[in-house]
Amino acid sequence: MGHDHDHGGGHGHSHGFGAHALEARREDSRKRLIVALAINVVMLLAEAIGGVITGSLAVLADAGHLLSDVGSIVLALIAARLAARPASGRRTFGYQRSEVLAALVNGLTLVAVSVFIGVEAIGRFSDPPTIDGGGVLALGIFGLIGNAVATIYLARGERDDMNLEGVIRHSFADALGSLGVVVAGAVVLAGGSDIVDPIVGLLIALLVLLSSWRLLKEPFDVLMEAAPEGIDVDTMGAHICEVPGVRSVHDLHVWTVTAGFPALAAHVVVARGADRDRIRQQLEMELGASFGIEHTTLQMEEEAEGGLLSVENAAKLQ
């Protein structure tokens, strides 16, 4: 489980968190982000120029989302670089939460982009401009292929990486947006009404807005120090109390430092005369095996003499 520290009064701290695994994950994500950045820059230039030439809002909307993609990837790369910096001074966890902040900023950017596209689309319904259907179709196919390649390549990385996941969602929404551009170009080329262009633009705006939800929720949960997704704190407390010698647990807190780095702190009351170091080590093993938590801070307390403490073999959570 890594190395443990015993601090006099029964305080145990374990941080067997795999630093090397985290570093390897970040390096893999960095390489994938650089490739995705190159693809998105090429598509952005093509769609920005093509959108102006064809007069298509759908293409310009997709280009706007691509611009936010480029910004999100650059932000993700900066955050990954900061997160890799070692802890020092007052920043005892280093800059690891920079990844979480980057994901939150990316989510807010998606909301802003969707609102802007939506307003533009609504404004065009009353007087939709004439667009070049063939040019729009060609740009849509180009964007769809590029976004599909970028999304698939990114998705093969570590999906627990919140920073990478934010960029993947940008890229996937872009792929669907490009599909909408293809539909708009095909309809206009087939003799359909030009109003299909602002309709597709509005649908892309809604799509972008929906894709921002997880990017807002997950970083917010981390910053509010909510328990990691999939961990039931009540069940964990009961599991701790099942270890022989444990009487109760209180001040149990479980949170996420950054993606893939859950942590736990708790006060554990043990039977009088029990081997607190042995119980602590067993708890650390149990928490790692059953809940995937290897960064633990456990304050071991001996139960008080009769009447001073209500002894229950159940979790007392605060």
Give me the pLDDT at residue 311, please: 41
Indicate whether 317 pLDDT > 50.
no
pLDDT (tens digit, 9 = 90+) per residue, 210-231? 877 877 888 888 888 888 888 8
What percent of the chain is predicted at pLDDT more than 90? Answer: 18
Q: pLDDT-derived band of residue 316, with 50, 70 and 90 as boundaries? A: very low
Indicate whether 201 pLDDT > 70.
yes
Q: pLDDT-derived band of residue 19, with 50, 70 and 90 as boundaries? A: low
Indicate whether 147 pLDDT > 70.
yes
Residue ranges, CATH 3.30.70.1350, the chain: 226-315
Mean pLDDT for 242-254 is 93
- β-partners of residue 300 are 268
Q: What are the C-alpha distances in Å from 299 to residues 13, 197, 206, 246, 264?
A: 8, 62, 49, 12, 11
Indicate whether 6 pLDDT > 60.
no
Please list the alpha-helical segments (H only) found in 125-250. 133-155, 162-189, 196-211, 213-223, 233-241
Q: pLDDT-derived band of residue 4, with 50, 70 and 90 as boundaries? A: very low
Mean pLDDT for 163-189 is 80
Give me the pLDDT at residue 306, please: 57
Indicate whether 268 pLDDT > 90.
yes
Mean pLDDT value across the chain:
80
- Tell me the three state secondary structure of residue 259: coil
Residue ranges, CATH 1.20.1510.10, the chain: 19-223
Select, from the ranges 66-80, 121-135, 168-182, 253-267, the one with the highest average predicted confidence (pLDDT).
Answer: 253-267
pTM over 0.75: no
What one-character-per-residue DSSP string does 48-78 give? HHHHHHHT-HHHHHHHHHHHHHHHHHHHHHH
Indicate whether 297 pLDDT > 50.
yes
Indicate whether 169 pLDDT > 80.
no
CATH code of the domain occupying 19-223: 1.20.1510.10
pLDDT (tens digit, 9 = 90+) per residue, 32-67? 889 989 998 998 898 889 888 888 777 887 787 778
Give me the pLDDT at residue 5, please: 41
CATH architecture of the domain 226-315 equals: 2-Layer Sandwich (3.30)
Give me the pLDDT at residue 20, please: 67
Cβ proximity of 100 and 162 under 8 Å:
yes
